């Protein structure tokens, strides 16, 4: 047990050493603002919509070019993934509105390098609210 622990520590140390020895190209953090949904948007469960974001400031080299979108409610990020593994340069991606309780305090968070929140918007259609 002791041996395998120190062996894995050595393996991690070797990995870190080789990673830091790899020459890195300069890359920029890109956190594009969400354009849609915006304040006042109303989505109905089951509909499909294009989430859009501003790519006009996209740097040439992006640290993390893959995006994913999660749902927030009441100021907290939920575990609901709306879309994953898309190119952050696309500027839009189609999502299906999930079957969630009605509310006017939903937000999206678009992750590339770090998260950017949409304004609060409404999801309706389940008939359930709390």
Ligand X SMILES: *[C@@H]1O[C@H](CO)[C@@H](O)[C@H](O)[C@H]1NC(C)=O
Binding site for ligand X (CB under 6 A): 25-26, 48-50, 60-61, 74-75, 92, 94, 105, 119-120
* 13 vs 105 by CB, closer to ligand X: 105
Beta bridge partners of 70: 81, 109
For the chain, the distance separating the N- and C-terminal CA atoms, rounded to the nearest angstrom, is 50
Q: Shortest approach of ligand X to residue 4 CB, angstroms?
A: 39
Tokens at residue 7, please? 């062996």
Number of CB atoms found within 10 A of residue 17's CB: 9
* 6 vs 63 by CB, closer to ligand X: 63
* 57 vs 105 by CB, closer to ligand X: 105
Taking the CA of residue 11 as centre, how many other CA atoms within 13 Å lie in the half-sphere pointing to its CB? 6
Find out whether 9 and 15 touch, Cβ atoms under 8 Å: no
* 15 vs 92 by CB, closer to ligand X: 92
Q: Shortest approach of ligand X to residue 120 CB, angstroms?
A: 4
Q: Shortest approach of ligand X to residue 78 CB, angstroms?
A: 13
Q: Shortest approach of ligand X to residue 91 CB, angstroms?
A: 10
Number of H helices, E strands in the chain: 1, 9
Which residue's beta carbon is nearest to the bound ligand X? 75
């Amino acid at each position: 047990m002791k041996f395998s622990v120190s062996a894995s520590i050595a393996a991690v140390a070797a990995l870190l050493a080789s990673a830091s020895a790899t020459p890195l190209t300069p890359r920029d953090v890109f956190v594009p603002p969400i354009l849609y949904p915006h304040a006042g948007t109303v989505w109905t469960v089951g509909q499909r919509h294009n989430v859009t974001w501003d790519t006009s400031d996209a740097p040439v080299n992006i640290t993390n070019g893959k995006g994913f979108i999660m749902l927030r409610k009441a100021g907290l990020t939920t575990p609901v993934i709306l879309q994953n593994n898309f190119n952050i340069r696309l500027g839009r991606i189609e999502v299906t509105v999930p079957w969630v309780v009605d509310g006017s305090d939903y937000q999206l968070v678009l992750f590339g390098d770090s998260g950017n929140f949409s304004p609060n918007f409404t999801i309706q259609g389940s008939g359930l609210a709390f």
